[in-house]
Amino acid sequence: SKSIDQYSPSPPVPGLGKSSHFPEVGIIMGSDSDLPTMLPAARILDTFGVPYELTIVSAHRTPDRMVAYARSAASRGLRVIIAGAGGAAHLPGMVAAMTALPVIGVPVKGSSLDGVDSLHSIVQMPRGIPVATVAINNSTNAALLAVRVLGAGTPRLREAMEHYMRSLEGEVLTKVDKLER
């Protein structure tokens, strides 16, 4: 199977976000107010050495930009899209409607309905256009899922994920050890 270095996607489109050279994951969000919630996803991808781009795409305030982003995503070399949004959070679903790439939705907690509005908006996609939905505000899990998706065809990433899982296990076992001592 192909190593991650062998992919040669087309270069990023100017104006479509802050990018590493050949991003494989697109992290988008409806507003800069979502940034603190979405940054942990970027940190996870940094940890796993997965190149990504990160930008703001608002479904209702910049609809043309959303269409351009989603329609160009696959040809620009992206393999997975992580989309975070709050409120009537249609960004992940609309993007999934315009690309065949896997889309992972992050329900962002807003001020009035505790993020349940975003969760329901993202998770309740009608039949035919799936969005993989993670827990409210859990962009960490969105990135981990993106790494697993990429890892299905990239042994280096699958092994890194196994290593990460063992480190989680180790953390808990260390605590058990301390507690029982």
Q: Binder to ligand RP5 among 87, 92, 93, 105 (CB under 6 A)?
A: 87
The residue within the footprint of ligand RP5, chosen from 3, 10, 33, 47 (CB under 6 A), is 33
58 touches 69 (CB < 8 A): no
58 binds ligand RP5 (CB under 6 A): yes
Write down the least CB distance from residue 94 to ligand RP5, Å: 12
Residues in the chain: 181
Residues 6+ apart with CB under 8 A from 181: none
Describe the crossing of helices 139-151 and 155-180 by its angle, rounded to 10 degrees.
130
- What's the closest the beta carbon of residue 34 comes to ligand RP5, in angstroms? 5
47 binds ligand RP5 (CB under 6 A): no
For residues 95 to 124, the per-residue mask of contacts with ligand RP5, x marking binding by CB under 6 A and - elsewhere, is -------------x-x--------------
Task: Give the residue among 154, 116, 159 at the shortest CA–CA distance from 137.
Answer: 116
Answer yes or no: are the C-beta atoms of 19 and 53 closer than 8 Å. yes
The answer to whether 17 contacts ligand RP5 (rule: CB under 6 A) is no
Q: Which is nearer to ligand RP5, 4 or 134 (CB)?
A: 134
